[in-house]
Homo-oligomer: A and B are copies of this chain.
Amino acid sequence: MYIQLDFESDIPIYEQLKHEIIFAIAKKQLSPGERLPSVRALASDIGINLHTVNKAYQQLKQDGFLQIHRQRGVVIDPDGPPKADTIYREHLQQILFPIFADAHLRNVTKQDFHELIDHFYDALEKEETTDE
């Protein structure tokens, strides 16, 4: 698993790290129960601060993506995050709708979005089998 960070980006590094790990799980490059590098190892590997890795791990644990054990280290949670409930779906809308509204005013159509989603889900499925 290769972590690809963009230090020029506006997105905080710990957020990018979270994204990368979630992506890897979605692509099944990381399997449930699989171990992740320790905070120290990953931090020195990528060349970022301990706290940054730790923050990402803690939040991923909080969201149910990871388990953190004193001895066994960090592993992918076998069950994954809680399934989307009403609260989550409302949260999702709250995040997406401003993006949609902006895009709409820039002439991005409903169809464009459908294609974008299909493209994303297709890419996931492909990478599941071919990648790594």
Name A's B-contacting residues (CB within 8 A): 7-8, 12-13, 18-19, 22-23, 25-26, 62, 65, 67, 69-70, 72, 80-84, 88-89, 92-93, 95-108, 110, 113-114, 116-118, 120-121, 124
CA distance A114 to B22 in the complex (A): 22
Quick one: which of B22, B80, B82, B117 contacts A110, CB cutoff 8 A?
Answer: B117
Quick one: which of B13, B23, B67, B116 contacts A93, CB cutoff 8 A?
Answer: B116
- Does A99 lie within 8 Å of B92, measured CB to CB? yes
Q: State the Cβ distance, A2 to closest chain B Cβ, in Å.
A: 16
Per DSSP, chain A at the interface is helix
13 A/B residue pairs, CB under 8 Å, sorted by A: A13-B70, A26-B104, A80-B106, A88-B106, A92-B103, A92-B116, A95-B99, A100-B117, A101-B124, A110-B118, A110-B121, A113-B117, A117-B117
A93-B116, A100-B117 given; 5 more Cβ-contact pairs under 8 Å: A8-B67, A13-B70, A62-B62, A92-B108, A110-B117
